Structure 1
Amino acid sequence: MNLVAASPLVDTASAVRDIRNTIDDQALVVFFASSCHDPHIAARLMKEAFPRSTVVGCTTAGEIWCDPLAGVGKMASNHLVAMSFSEEIVGPFHAEVVGQLSQSIDIAPALAGFEQAFGIPVAAMDPDEYLGMILIDGLICSEEALMEKLGDTSDILFVGGSAGDDFKLQGTYVFLDGQAYNDAALLLVMKPKRKFQAIKTQSFTILPHRLQVTGACQRSVSHFNGQPAGKAYADALGIPLEKAPEQFVDHPVGLMIDGEPYVRSPQKINDQGGLDFYSSLLEGMELRILESLDPIADTESAIAAAQQAMGGLSSVILFNCANRTVDMERRRITGEFEAMLGRLGAPVIGFSSYGEMYIGHINQTATMIAFG
């Protein structure tokens, strides 16, 4: 039996049968589902198909997988994809759902659940031994606040992505053991028995242009460098304001931390001449304008470095920004990315996300969990 499976069937029951006929019922099953599948039906049927497993996942803006036996990866839409993990890889683990995020963010019950499962407080968990995975409703703009709370209470690195719905912007869901939740996040903490690494890769060079946030409210920036944000951004690139949206994918901005950019992607110029982003920015932050590079070479290099450090690679969970996927389609390099996944020689499962998590909430990035 394979560890990874994908089905193009839009009938959910048939797709789940496809998956179950291909992968084992092991300790953990992670699955990602296109919005062509009813999330509640998909969650229920997947749990019924894998009753011995803890079954987690979310809806997507595109599905990603690689079966090493086939020797090539795939980026597609309208699929259901899944991977099973044995306890020999993920070790002991526990999953919790944090709900009603748009009203308030209360992680205390989830932390208590992790403490009961592992026998130690989350604050005492060694990040060299424990790893977190996070999947979150991608439409409620709660990623930053939740990640901040997790960072305040734990040293564990939570890596993951925001659920999508194929750009319909109608409803995104996370899954746990037969239930589909919106306005919620799925948190999974594991103590892997294999070596593991969290990977962040973004394919940009850093330009000299600096933009200081001089007016902002959550994900909307009114001013950069004392000027209306849209105009300041366009002036930095030397283009007319009306041409600025054409540059958002190729030239996002980056918050620099230890020399590394944490990408914030512009979404639109708002009616006041400011810029709305897909992630929050705070007044006083200094940003650099970035320029897009080759995402294939950059991603392959990052995974190869992790593989060498771990002495091998057994599996990868990939959270790839939907804007990266769109950019690869626009540049007609999706096939090259798929070939790169095939060269890894390990099963891969992932999805195109509405945002990525790695320390905080970021954009136009691929974050990954890799097991040795």
Structure 2
Amino acid sequence: MRPESRTRARMHASGMLTAWSDAGSAEAVVAEFARQIDPSRYGQLLVFFAPSFDAEALAQALAATFPGLPVAGCSTAGEITPDGIASDTVVALALPHGGFRVATDIISELGGLTVENGAAVARRLRAALERRCGDRAAAPGHRFALVFIDGMSYREEMCVSTIAMALDDIPVVGGSAGDGLRFGVTSQLHGGRVHRQAAVIVLVDTDHPVEVFHTDNFSPTGRKLVVTRCDPERRIVHELNAEPAAAEYAAAVGVAPEELTPVLFASHPVVVRVGGSHYCRSIQRVNPDGSLSFFCAIDDGVVLTIARPRDLVAAAEAELARLDRALGGLDLVIGFDCVLRRLDAARRRVRPRIEDLYRRHQVVGFFTYGEQFGGMHLNQTFSGVAIGRPRPAG
């Protein structure tokens, strides 16, 4: 028997409102949200939902219940609510008219994305935000862009780099939409409709101080793997060090090939060195032919380094504490956490500590198939935008 459903809401000092529900259907969830959200007070709704909910029904119910209130969001690989980590939940974040100016758009059909048409959408969106701001001058540290990209599109790198280039000085952060652990079809919400193979962009100008961030919890070792045969379009590596990929990776981390699982990949990530820093290139799964599918772009000749995990909780806690100091107190953090970090936290039995940390620092968001930061598509990071508490006038 399904436990009794819960719907809760929390008002933040900035006027933002978070609502979350595990009511049994999309229609039931939206009916519960209608009791919590006064649409006359808000100018934008962000919605992150488990793939167990019917995306079409959710989009229709939101459009019917909140006519005139723009909705943007996506499906997830798990949700982050003010109560903690959740599954089979819908999370809504309402941005108020006061203190926030928002513009949204969508890049559809990512399979046909070019630098030119992606940049055109981003520039058009920036112009829309400038119109909403009127005579208000853009202030450093008060703008950000959120991107929700289809996590099965294989187009995240090109999409986010194009958006970041076109938006110039507006910092970009986001998460790749998920489909639980099925890695099948993800959904994006925009304009009252469900989209697939798409990227939703949300530009925000706010009175409150903000900072985008990303953090990880791994350090490179001396063990190297060179990609010697791959299919870059599908992100599949067939050979590492001229040996079958899964077997060679398994040998490098000291396990048998049949022991390779998403949990083990989370515990033994591989990284690449870019510009003096290391970034994760997470493995998604082992294929029947012994090849490996990746979450990020991969190509022949890429040198992968086996990484050693550090304390996941301590790394996240240090970053959130830094943000709290930098912004004079956190009002809310819109967070994008890699699904592999969730699996790793469960394996290491630190999930309760992560949940407590996220509750204390007001983290709301979802688990992803990849994270975006600046012009990069990343894996196995905790990324997001921290929004500071309102500062006294004068």
Question: TM bucket by the smaller chain?
Answer: 0.7 to 0.9
Change (3 A) 1:257 1:306: farther
**In structure 2, what is the Cα distance between the partners aligned to 1:109 and 1:221?**
33
Residues 1:85 and 2:85 are matched in the alignment: no
Shift of 1:19: 1.8
What CA deviation, in whole Å up to 9, does each residue of 1:9-51 have, x standing for no partner? Answer: 0122221122232234312211111222211221232233333
**In structure 1, what is the Cα distance between the partners aligned to 2:288 and 2:165?**
36
Change (3 A) 1:273 1:127: farther
- Report if the CA contact (8 A) 1:45-1:178 is conserved: no
Aligned residue type for 1:330: R
- Given candidates 234, 252, 265, the residue that maps to 2:269 is 252
Change (3 A) 1:289 1:136: same
Residues 1:9 and 2:23 are matched in the alignment: yes
Q: Which residue of 1 is the match for residue 51 of structure 2? A: 35
Aligned residue type for 1:171: V
Residues 1:289 and 2:306 are matched in the alignment: yes
Change (3 A) 1:166 1:115: closer
Q: Which residue of 1 is the match for residue 113 of structure 2? A: 104
- Given candidates 86, 95, 104, the residue that maps to 1:95 is 104
Q: Which residue of 1 is the match for residue 124 of structure 2? A: 113
DSSP-derived class of the 1:197 partner = strand
- Sequence identity (%): 30
What CA deviation, in whole Å up to 9, does each residue of 1:193-212 have, x standing for no partner? Answer: 22111121222232222333
Q: Which residue of 1 is the match for residue 391 of structure 2? A: none
- Report if the CA contact (8 A) 1:212-1:224 is conserved: yes
- Report if the CA contact (8 A) 1:34-1:79 is conserved: yes
Residues 1:207 and 2:217 are matched in the alignment: no
- Given candidates 36, 39, 46, the residue that maps to 2:62 is 46
Shift of 1:291: 2.4
After TM superposition, list the pairs within 5 Å mapping 1:271-310 onto structure 2: 273-310=290-327
Q: Which residue of 1 is the match for residue 3 of structure 2? A: none
What CA deviation, in whole Å up to 9, does each residue of 1:213-233 have, x standing for no partner? Answer: 344332123344444433443
Shift of 1:126: 8.8
- Report if the CA contact (8 A) 1:7-1:80 is conserved: yes
Aligned residue type for 1:209: R
Shift of 1:297: 2.1
Residues 1:188 and 2:202 are matched in the alignment: yes
Q: Which residue of 1 is the match for residue 187 of structure 2? A: 173
TM-score, normalised with respect to structure 1: 0.87
Residues 1:329 and 2:329 are matched in the alignment: no
What CA deviation, in whole Å up to 9, does each residue of 1:166-189 have, x standing for no partner? Answer: 233442111123211111110112
**In structure 2, what is the Cα distance between the partners aligned to 1:119 and 1:368?**
23
- Given candidates 344, 350, 359, the residue that maps to 2:365 is 350
**In structure 2, what is the Cα distance between the partners aligned to 1:239 and 1:45?**
48
What CA deviation, in whole Å up to 9, does each residue of 1:319-370 have, x standing for no partner? Answer: 11122222223333322221112222x3x32112122112322222221111
Q: Which residue of 2 is the match for residue 20 of structure 1? A: 34
- Given candidates 207, 211, 234, the residue that maps to 2:250 is 234
Change (3 A) 1:185 1:49: same
TM-score, normalised with respect to structure 2: 0.82
Aligned residue type for 2:91: V
**In structure 2, what is the Cα distance between the partners aligned to 1:36 and 1:269?**
25
- Given candidates 182, 198, 217, the residue that maps to 2:231 is 217
Shift of 1:78: 1.1
- Report if the CA contact (8 A) 1:199-1:367 is conserved: yes
Q: What runs of 5+ residues in structure 1 fail to find an aligned partner?
A: 67-72
Residues 1:58 and 2:74 are matched in the alignment: yes
Change (3 A) 1:332 1:203: same
Change (3 A) 1:169 1:277: closer
DSSP-derived class of the 1:149 partner = helix
Q: Which residue of 1 is the match for residue 150 of structure 2? A: 137
**In structure 1, what is the Cα distance between the partners aligned to 2:353 and 2:27?**
32
**In structure 1, what is the Cα distance between the partners aligned to 2:330 and 2:98?**
14
Shift of 1:112: 4.4
Q: Choose 263-272 or 245-254, whichever is displaced more.
A: 263-272
- Report if the CA contact (8 A) 2:188-2:199 is conserved: yes
Aligned residue type for 1:338: E
**In structure 2, what is the Cα distance between the partners aligned to 1:288 and 1:223?**
15
**In structure 2, what is the Cα distance between the partners aligned to 1:150 and 1:294?**
33
- Report if the CA contact (8 A) 1:40-1:180 is conserved: yes
What CA deviation, in whole Å up to 9, does each residue of 1:237-259 have, x standing for no partner? Answer: 34444445573221111123455
Q: Which residue of 2 is the match for residue 69 of structure 1? A: none
Q: What runs of 5+ residues in structure 2 fail to find an aligned partner?
A: 1-9, 12-16, 132-137, 389-394
Aligned residue-pair number: 359
Q: Choose 98-107 or 296-305, whichever is displaced more.
A: 98-107
What CA deviation, in whole Å up to 9, does each residue of 1:80-117 have, x standing for no partner? Answer: 1111122444x322111111112334314413422431
Change (3 A) 1:23 1:145: same
Aligned residue type for 2:90: L
DSSP-derived class of the 1:191 partner = strand
